[in-house]
């Protein structure tokens, strides 16, 4: 009798766990800060200077929500970075960008964070977020990781490239003009 009750309780517990897991909401694919995309890399100028890079879109809202407590985790090139960040002074509300033709346009609102990689003594990180762009650099030892924007869009979002210092192609300087 005791064995039958125990088996019944274990069966009920297993069925409860299965039921909870099967009804749990699926993770939102857009909830990640960096989202890999299938993009034609050969169409980007980065292809000329980098041996390897990933194309991603960013979710600045998620980044800003996550970093509000001073910590954020980013996955770059398959490596996870747990960052300890502090907000730096941001761009003034009345800042402008002067374009090539001399016209002035309002600078986008941005937030910049500086800090370190948790558990890595010789590390630093700096990231800047605007409405639709995240730019950054993470340095660990003698290796650097970069997030840069492109001028291209994918499904309405700015395409970014993620690469490491190891991916920068060796280039020969054909001419040096110090002027």
Q: Residues 149-163: what's their mean pLDDT?
A: 96
Q: State the DSSP H helix or E strand holding residue 145, giving kind and residue range, or none if neither.
A: strand 143-154
Q: Residues 7-18: what's their mean pLDDT?
A: 37
pLDDT at 158: 95
pLDDT at 179: 67
Distance of CA 155 to the CA centre of its chain: 18
* Domain ranges (residues) in the chain: 31-167
Question: What's the pLDDT tens digit per position in 50-102?
Answer: 999 999 999 999 999 999 999 999 999 999 999 999 999 777 778 888 888 88
Closest of 1, 28, 45, 13 to residue 148, by C-alpha: 45
Question: What is the DSSP annotation of 6-50?
Answer: HHHHHHHHHHHHHHHHHHSPPPPGGGSSEEE----GGGSTHHHHB
Which of the four pLDDT bands, split at 50, 70 and 90, describes residue 137?
very high
Residue bearing the bigger pLDDT, 22 or 49 = 49
> CA 26, 31, 34: angle at the middle one, nearest 5?
130
Judged against a pLDDT cut of 90, whether residue 19 lies above it is answered with: no
Which of the four pLDDT bands, split at 50, 70 and 90, describes residue 118?
very high
Separation CA 93–CA 91 (nearest Å): 6
Judged against a pLDDT cut of 60, whether residue 178 lies above it is answered with: yes
Closest of 29, 52, 35, 54 to residue 132, by C-alpha: 35
Eight-state DSSP code of residue 77: T
- Measured CA distances, 119 to 35, 84, 116, 154 (Å): 25, 10, 9, 35
pLDDT at 100: 81
Residue bearing the bigger pLDDT, 16 or 168 = 168
pLDDT at 108: 81
């Amino acid at each position: 009798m005791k064995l039958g009750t125990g088996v019944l309780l274990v069966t009920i517990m297993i069925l409860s766990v299965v039921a909870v897991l099967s009804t749990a909401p699926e993770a939102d694919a857009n909830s990640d800060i960096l989202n890999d995309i299938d993009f034609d890399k050969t169409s980007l100028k980065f292809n000329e200077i980098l041996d390897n890079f990933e194309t991603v879109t960013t979710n600045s809202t998620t980044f800003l929500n996550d970093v509000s407590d001073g910590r954020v985790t980013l996955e770059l090139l398959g490596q996870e970075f747990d960052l300890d960040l502090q907000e730096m002074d941001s761009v003034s509300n009345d800042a402008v960008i002067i374009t090539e033709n001399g016209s002035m346009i309002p600078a986008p609102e941005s937030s910049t964070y500086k800090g370190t990689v948790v558990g890595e003594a010789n590390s630093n990180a700096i990231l800047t977020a605007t409405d639709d762009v995240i730019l950054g650099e993470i340095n660990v030892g003698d290796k650097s990781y970069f997030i840069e924007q492109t001028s291209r869009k994918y499904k309405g979002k700015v395409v970014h490239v993620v690469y490491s210092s190891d991916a920068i192609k060796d280039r020969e300087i054909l001419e040096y003009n110090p002027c």
